[in-house]
Structure 1
């Protein structure tokens, strides 16, 4: 059995060596030729897993070691009987704690009472739900927005997007999606950025591309905290230089 693995995957030799022959490559160098005779493909987000990569190959299992899914064409995998597993949710506690720690730091530095702030959480899945639980324990009022969950579960305490964007603190925790009834690509854009004011604390800890950065860099906020960038691995230096925290995802 042959495995092609992104060389940035942690401890790949220890974890996968018993399964067969391992070939490692930088994620952006994994191409159609390199997977033709592979049985298993293990990637991170820098490899686009789709028909262009896999057609004609022997691959029957794809594993992704990151939480996001936008780099994988799951429909193609399903249609071609290729098993897929991801690490979705693996870092949800860490991201929730990242947001909470930033809020606590800001409350100390800027001398405000976070229990008197509202927290708009956009995307209430693995990360957003954990963050909401922590915020509730700390006495922070949450405004939860997740139209997919709202439609499926009819949750009475959820709000529309504009209401969530009007919170004192706004944080994004959606996947990056381009289709369906609720695409998240450039979810915050020129049509609704007016909800963000010079008093807003704005986070992107979701995926690059969820916020339209060309508008963001021209919008005055109280604080920006950015972990995800629209053109990763390149970052928007105009946003980075003024951010309270800017981290490389």
Structure 2
């Protein structure tokens, strides 16, 4: 039974779902780093919110860990490269608190437009400063979205309902998607020049850090009001303070800060500044939603292999997993075969799918190929860290789908590039589930890749089969299966045979010394 640790405060629904699905779960919160390191090796999964820091040291101690699930969107507290290198899937829950975060951005926009926090404080202090708090309407104002993904699109929908005009800067926003949302796609400079309100809905990356820098804030429309419920670090806080003090920026509302918890900030006390303590996801509904979502995702992965909302491995739904599993087994064997044949100098890998395979999600198939391919380089390689290992070695990956007709109902082909040229292998599924090799280095051959095997390339001459059989027999090696293929009569031929155990190096050398032998390789498959 898989075992999961919930190390942060989370809705009880999460533990209930784990137990109902057949996953053992411990709820131990408030652990120090050293305390977590001591026990993390006992768990297959780690469910967290924002308090637990899944650092490189903790991941290194998590010898059985397979998945980290973040109940929420941000994964700043997870060392994703370390998790990827260790073969640990990292998931988040990007949709569970989307509505809540979008509503908080809208609430802060209203607060800025009508100066609600200041008016509340003034009124409760016994003042009646009706003439002091002159607000602005949202109707007909231009809202600029920096980021038009899941949360940004919800904000756009709500803003359109308020009769605002919505423009958006998002490198990944297509013209078709913008038209569907009813918004206008613009450049960042256009947005800065036109928007009367700006809201940010983008992750913090190297390309988005300080996207509202001093330089960009200077490009904004005088009197602009800015709202950030996404991530601290998207705005240069010192430049924002200067813009508020000068009056160029009409107001700002931050739910997130560069340093959190933000116990002090030069922005605090600045007129027309509103702040909240990272409340974007803080509603009862959102906390239940993300807890349910993270538990379901982690249980799916641990029990069925389904991968949802993963940040370092291709997604694979629980429905897809059973259908793809035979293809992934085939892909891993093909990768293993060619990885054993080409041990170094690899510069690129191409994965091609034809027939029924072309209708499937190709990403998990490619990841399985790479897992098989990289296994000779790492004892702990899997579908998560194999692409990471390939990138470390500067191996380029390509994927190709073919709609052409093929001799097989389904076909997967793997080709590797080396300075000496290309080598490829291809396989299919018998009865829809049994992996079979059908081609190796351009020669048709049918074989099951299993256990210890011997691969030989030789000249197609009479007597060779007898000589190799005698050589193996005299060495006490029992042959299980025997598979032959050739290009043309009398040209190059291949032999792939299974044996009862790994062939020792001296025997490989003896086979290599037989007349007509060009290549000999001992293979091993799980």
Tell me the CA shift for residue 92 of structure 1.
1.4
2:58 is matched with: 53
Secondary structure at 1:66's aligned position in 2? coil
8 Å CA contact 1:217–1:238 kept in 2: the answer is yes
Aligned counterparts of 1:95 and 1:14: Cα–Cα separation in 2: 26
Aligned counterparts of 1:150 and 1:47: Cα–Cα separation in 2: 36
8 Å CA contact 1:31–1:53 kept in 2: the answer is yes
Structure 1 residues 24-39: aligned runs within 5 Å: 24-26=28-30, 29=33, 31-39=36-44
Aligned counterparts of 1:205 and 1:227: Cα–Cα separation in 2: 5
Aligned counterparts of 2:229 and 2:220: Cα–Cα separation in 1: 17
Tell me the CA shift for residue 79 of structure 1.
4.8
1:40-86 per-residue CA deviation (whole Å, 9 max, x = no partner) reads 10111333435432125211121100122333344544454423331
Tell me the CA shift for residue 106 of structure 1.
4.4
2:77 is matched with: 71
1:224 is matched with: 252
Structure 1 residues 50-129: aligned runs within 5 Å: 50-57=55-62, 58-108=64-114, 110-129=134-153
8 Å CA contact 1:2–1:20 kept in 2: the answer is yes
Aligned counterparts of 1:190 and 1:103: Cα–Cα separation in 2: 22
8 Å CA contact 1:118–1:168 kept in 2: the answer is yes
8 Å CA contact 1:7–1:25 kept in 2: the answer is yes
Tell me the CA shift for residue 234 of structure 1.
2.5
Secondary structure at 1:26's aligned position in 2? coil
Aligned counterparts of 1:208 and 1:34: Cα–Cα separation in 2: 32
1:76-105 per-residue CA deviation (whole Å, 9 max, x = no partner) reads 444544233311122211222222233345
Aligned counterparts of 2:76 and 2:145: Cα–Cα separation in 1: 20
* CA gap 1:164/1:80 in 2 versus in 1, 3 angstroms: same
* CA gap 1:146/1:235 in 2 versus in 1, 3 angstroms: farther
1:4 is matched with: 5
Tell me the CA shift for residue 116 of structure 1.
2.8
Aligned counterparts of 2:191 and 2:266: Cα–Cα separation in 1: 26
8 Å CA contact 2:60–2:86 kept in 1: the answer is no
8 Å CA contact 2:222–2:250 kept in 1: the answer is yes
8 Å CA contact 1:120–1:169 kept in 2: the answer is yes
* CA gap 1:63/1:190 in 2 versus in 1, 3 angstroms: same
Aligned counterparts of 1:211 and 1:106: Cα–Cα separation in 2: 17
8 Å CA contact 2:5–2:43 kept in 1: the answer is yes
Secondary structure at 2:11's aligned position in 1? coil
* CA radius of gyration, larger in: 2
Aligned counterparts of 1:207 and 1:138: Cα–Cα separation in 2: 25
Aligned counterparts of 2:198 and 2:210: Cα–Cα separation in 1: 15
* CA gap 1:200/1:61 in 2 versus in 1, 3 angstroms: same
8 Å CA contact 1:27–1:46 kept in 2: the answer is no
Instruction: Using the TM superposition, name which of 122-131 and 133-142 deviates more.
Output: 133-142
Number of residue pairs matched by the alignment = 244
Q: TM-score, normalised by structure 2?
A: 0.42
8 Å CA contact 1:172–1:205 kept in 2: the answer is yes
2:363 is matched with: none
8 Å CA contact 2:112–2:252 kept in 1: the answer is no
* CA gap 1:46/1:163 in 2 versus in 1, 3 angstroms: farther
Secondary structure at 1:127's aligned position in 2? helix
Aligned-residue Cα RMSD (Å) equals: 2.8
Tell me the CA shift for residue 8 of structure 1.
2.1
* CA gap 1:28/1:225 in 2 versus in 1, 3 angstroms: farther
Instruction: Using the TM superposition, name which of 121-130 and 216-225 deviates more.
Output: 216-225
Aligned counterparts of 2:236 and 2:170: Cα–Cα separation in 1: 19
* CA gap 1:71/1:135 in 2 versus in 1, 3 angstroms: same
Instruction: Using the TM superposition, name which of 27-36 and 207-216 deviates more.
Output: 27-36
8 Å CA contact 1:143–1:163 kept in 2: the answer is no
State whether structure 2 residue 185 is matched by structure 1 residue 158: yes
* CA gap 1:163/1:48 in 2 versus in 1, 3 angstroms: farther
Structure 1 unaligned residues grouped into runs of 5+: none
Aligned counterparts of 1:196 and 1:28: Cα–Cα separation in 2: 44
Instruction: Using the TM superposition, name which of 18-27 and 115-124 deviates more.
Output: 18-27
State whether structure 2 residue 262 is matched by structure 1 residue 238: no
